[in-house]
Structure 1
């Protein structure tokens, strides 16, 4: 497991060109960005607010682009404008987030503002939870007036596998993942985030701009926990009283030191989002 972690951390070495060091704000002192081969590597380190500020500042253009693309994509695909997603995030998600992640999202907002991009905490929360809202919560609302309307609306977004032991050539772990998403989304899912928080484990994951979690669910932490998933298609049973999946996923990435830890964190307050 230690070998696997060290190998994955060598990704950082690959991003030795086009390194962007942030400005004079002390919150940016430990954060940086490197671009190579269509991937954006960001190193985020410090308190939750510092990690968020670095994220928002270093990916301001990409987050702005993602916001605009998603607003159009969701309006066309779900017939709901961005105000619906902002309001849903404000009511259903924001009050249930741990303060640590509220602070990180607040930091993202401040980083964006420092680069002239005007979004607020509900925009960034809606961005993080758009899959849960569009593909789980919204169908559950429509099912109230039309029973069964939510049965086949949750798509199979991901296919993944993890093999180890006798199933691999050298007995080490092999993990693979495909994301089955529309191009307007997938072409923007090109961030590799290396997060070093003050508490919990270091995280290496792919991510969508502005996400505090992987979203693609391809991650590893410094405790040696490897995380990926295959989406359950046609799932229904969203619970608006539950904890958003994106917080539980990030919390598990950061704080799980064992498989039992991961299960406990993910099942506590499970809202059925992004099943």
Structure 2
């Protein structure tokens, strides 16, 4: 297992070059990444750009809208970020993840300034205990092996909705630990996988996007997903997930799916 999802080749406040390591490998092909790592890389790039542009530490990334323009290879990738808006209460950054001359992911990340609204919000409870359930190791690809899993409802590979706790065991890059929204999106892109309604051996159900909204900053290491997939009759589907940390619900995720039967060799 590599020491991180990506190795830094070069990094500036607005750009970055990275080598994709084996833990980025997704379920569909050994040369293609899972959606979690490039989305987390995009959030981190947006955070770096906003800090450089504003000099502020009170802006927290709370929402990402990511579009998969194309598959992300397990190869060298680049990030290019720009700050679209930097106001007193919020900031918006845009990040493009590319490989070679091809753009792979477009992501927009909203940041909201922190403020004390505790008098109108319920206080966070004590963190709940980690579920005492067996770790499931049925998924045999790089990204899935890089996480620790605790399934409360459902199982990988079995049809139907699931609830699972997941904890990435690697940093995003050497010296850059996963935290906040980046940690959430590293896990949340798997909502369509843990709630699959179709046979992985017979169908593909690739998501073309990932939208994650947080109501408050994520805390801790474990991301909890309660996910359901809804299939349409015209080649598409939708996955909805409720996202929590050990203190309770923190946000929600949505993914649009493209459904297609797998081609058989021969």
TM-score by length of 1: 0.29
TM-score by length of 2: 0.29
Give the strand-richer structure, 1 or 2: 2
Give the helix-richer structure, 1 or 2: 1
